[in-house]
Amino acid sequence: MQDFKHIKAWQRAHALAIAIHKLSRRFTGGGYGRLRAQLTGAADSIGDNILEGCGASTKKDFARFLDNSIKSANETEGHLLKARDVELISLHEWQMYSAETIEVRKMIYVYCAKVRSSAEESDNPARD
């Protein structure tokens, strides 16, 4: 069991989710409530999957949660694109938030690979 607050990827994902919540406050009217809910939900899910995975009983299970976090980052990126295309956010905002989402996803991917490698090592101890 790990303390999620010490995981750099979680820290960045958490900060991203807070920023996206603030950004999406202006998605009022025009029937954009669903897009707002999807965007904030996906952004929240990035960090939520990391912290939930920290309670996993095995490294393999933790890696599965990290994989879900990567998928949530993909979803977040897609919703940001839609928000840009319907002109709810500017090109500059889209570039900034998409770039951060991509960076967070990369961090989680690298972390997930390390967790998987560690899980495989513990599953297959070296034989003399």
- Report domain extents, the chain: 7-122
What tens digit of pLDDT does each residue of 53-105 get?
Answer: 999 999 999 999 999 999 999 999 999 999 999 999 999 999 999 999 999 99
- Answer for the pair 99, 80: CB distance below 8 angstroms, yes or no: no
Distances (CA, A) of 105 to 25, 33, 70, 109: 24, 25, 6, 6
What's the CATH architecture for 7-122?
Up-down Bundle (1.20)
**Residues 6+ positions from 41 with CB-CB distance below 8 Å:** none
Confirm whether pTM is higher than 0.85: yes
